[in-house]
């Protein structure tokens, strides 16, 4: 899904809507938050203008709070390149 977004959907949105259009995405079941964080990183790397927005929702308040904290074990976002992980995360408490 992320490869499709990166290679086709995002360029098509940009082409149709223009450079100044704020791309918005909705992660409907954020659970532990890896998907919305990975989506936010993808949008940041694609757009770079910080106009993109990600809305992450879940029926569980605890899941949303966990996702909001953005604390993950190494390897959680396996689909991201090493450079993406290094530029968007930092090591805390080991």
Q: Residues 47-83: pLDDT tens digits?
A: 776 678 899 899 998 888 888 888 888 777 666 777 8
Average pLDDT of every residue of the chain:
85
Residue 37 CB-density burial (10 A; 0-12 exposed, 13-18 middle, 19+ buried): buried
Within a 10 A sphere around the Cβ of 36, how many other Cβ atoms? 25
Note the pLDDT of residue 34. Answer: 81
Mean pLDDT to the nearest integer, 3-18: 92
Query: Per DSSP, what are the bridge partners of residue 55?
Result: 26
Integer-rounded Cα radius of gyration of the chain: 14
Query: Per DSSP, what are the bridge partners of residue 26?
Result: 55
Contact, 84 vs 45, CB < 8 A? Answer: yes
């Amino acid at each position: 899904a992320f490869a499709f977004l990166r290679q086709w959907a995002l360029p098509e949105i940009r082409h149709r809507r223009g450079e100044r259009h704020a791309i918005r995405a909705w992660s409907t079941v954020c659970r532990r938050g890896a998907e919305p964080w990975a989506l936010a990183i993808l949008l940041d790397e694609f757009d770079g203008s910080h106009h993109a927005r990600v809305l992450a929702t879940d029926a569980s308040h605890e899941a949303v709070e966990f996702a909001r904290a953005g604390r993950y074990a190494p390897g959680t976002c396996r689909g991201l390149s090493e450079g993406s992980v290094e530029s968007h995360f930092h090591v805390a408490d080991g």
